[in-house]
Amino acid sequence: MCLNLVYNQFSNKNMISQKTRSTLKITIGTILVAFGTLLLVAFSSGYNFDIFRGEIFSTGLVLLGTNPSGASIKINNKSISQKTPYRLENFKTGNLNVEYSKPDYKVWNSSYVVRPGEVTFADYALLLPNNIEQSDNFTKLKFDNLITSEERFKVYAFLNSPGSIYELDQTNNPKKVIELPPNSAIQPPNKLTENLLSRDGSAIITRASYENGSTAKFWIDSASAQLVDIEALLSQKASDIKFNQRNSKEFYSLAEGKIRRANVDNKQILDLAASSISSYQLDREYIYTLENLNPIEQGQFLVRYDYNGNNRYVLAQLPPSTSPREILASEYNGQKLLAIRSTGEGGLYVYRQSEGKNLLSFAGAGVTLDAFSPNGRLLSYIQNNILKTIDIETGERFSVDSTDTNSISWITNYQLIISKPNGLYMVDFNGYNYNKIPPNSLSTSQYRYAIKSNDKSVYYTLDGNLTFFTLQPKGLINFR
């Protein structure tokens, strides 16, 4: 009927032939179908039509969410009636400011750009309590250091004198794992350093120092307290030790440009064929090495091996560096990711695999710290007193001033803990919501801290006294 109405506006049956009328109907019909198809494509691509204004505008989807949920929402400084979590359907593209507020919590805000047909994720907000409740005085032991495993989130506390290691149980009560043995002079160790945990927390490596100046490096089973003298097993000084990420009873050591693998159970030693190695790193599948070229002015090869040191594969070539480089390994959506940083001039290179290609990019010089988020998507680093973050998936970059930062670590996939001389701070990956958290010490040199990301807890020792607090509301199951 609609086609006939349009047709009758342009034809007169007494004046136009039957053939012309048929052609006109087909033409008008084709135009209407084409117009309808364009509208459908536009709508599916994130465009809407305002019938009252006769305006076609682009839209996107905005996901809103907080931990804890039930926060009030402001969109571009205007309150809406809904609480988090909430989906903003068909939101007009452009700049977006989101603000969350909830009684007894600090106000949270962030800014975004909504793009046509895309999803804007504003559902990762971790709301900080106005008053963070801390638990202390639950043990009289005074600890000198803390460390947390990447998996299973086991927390271990180290006591220098006498050299002892404790595991914190589920109620955070310290349970002694081992007291390190005396050396040949019958002296207990007075300091534990270079502490390292296996990925699952089932094994510990530590260097024990004694009053007479001697040292010994031990591998320790955290469940049975089995003890192995690493340097006696290797028949050499052990340096740059790293755990096999699939087997905590194996570890690797670098000495004189060669990598040696040792197994504490069967006492087998394997010298890898690779040579001229300046540094190395492991993930679950491979060993990554930086190998000096000859002459050294040609730079270094970034090389991948299997865990036995076989199947050598050159990933990239790096220019020469005036100082040693460190490798940080991660993975995101099946992509292998490496951050390679010079410890001197701070030149940072980022390697990743994409569509079967090996890509190497230079992030800049002056980088002092770097860390991948737990899921590998975000790489944050300190460059000239600025905290910078790269989104591996989108390529977006974020930055915020972070002067005097001593260390950075992730507490969620979207929030970092920053250590500064006057205490700890939490900040979102994009630089928003930079807030101070305990401990409220005048100097970070007075304490050590560790993070359990599974329950968003922070543990710290201040003058040896152990304290912890959690930023995870009870009962919350699902949070990005």
What is the pLDDT, as a whole number, of residue 28?
A: 65
The DSSP 8-state label assigned to residue 23 in this structure reads: H
Please report whether residue 96 resides in a domain: yes
Q: Are residues 114 and 64 part of one domain?
A: yes
Rounded percentage of the chain residues whose pLDDT exceeds 70: 86
pLDDT tens digits along 297-312: 899 999 999 999 999 9
Please report whether residue 74 resides in a domain: yes
Identify the residue with better confidence: 356 or 222: 222
In what side-by-side order are the strands of the sheet with 335-342?
A: 325-332, 335-342, 348-354, 357-364
CA distance 258 to 309: 11
CA distance 105 to 203: 39
Range in 12-16, 297-301, 470-474 the model is least confident about: 12-16
Rg (CA), the chain: 30
Cβ atoms 268, 278 nearer than 8 A:
no
Q: What is the mean pLDDT of the chain?
A: 88
Please report whether residue 87 resides in a domain: yes
Please report whether residue 362 resides in a domain: no
Identify the residue with better confidence: 1 or 166: 166
pLDDT at 380 over 60: yes
Maximum pairwise Cα distance, the chain: 121
Q: Are residues 66 and 39 part of one domain?
A: no
What is the pLDDT, as a whole number, of residue 376?
A: 96
Please report whether residue 245 resides in a domain: no
What is the pLDDT, as a whole number, of residue 353?
A: 87
Identify the residue with better confidence: 44 or 168: 168
Q: How far is CA 345 from CA 179, 292, 297, 361, 444, in A?
A: 41, 18, 16, 17, 25
Please report whether residue 223 resides in a domain: no
Q: Which region, left, alpha or beta, applies to residue 157 given φ > 0 means left and ψ of -120 to 50 means alpha?
A: beta
What is the pLDDT, as a whole number, of residue 56?
A: 55
Domain finish residue from 110, 126, 142: 126
What is the pLDDT, as a whole number, of residue 455?
A: 87
pLDDT tens digits along 18-62: 656 566 666 666 665 555 555 555 455 556 555 444 555 589 999
What is the pLDDT, as a whole number, of residue 65?
A: 96
Assign 460 a pLDDT band (cuts: 50, 70, 90). very high
Please report whether residue 202 resides in a domain: no
Please report whether residue 290 resides in a domain: no
Q: Which residue range forms the structural domain that includes residue 37?
A: 2-9+20-44
Question: Looking at the 3D structure of the chain, how many domains does it have?
Answer: 2
pLDDT at 476 over 80: no
CA distance 1 to 25: 12
Q: Bridge partners of 164?
A: 159, 179
Q: Are residues 120 and 72 part of one domain?
A: yes
Assign 170 a pLDDT band (cuts: 50, 70, 90). confident
The CATH number assigned to the domain holding 60 equals: 2.60.40.1120
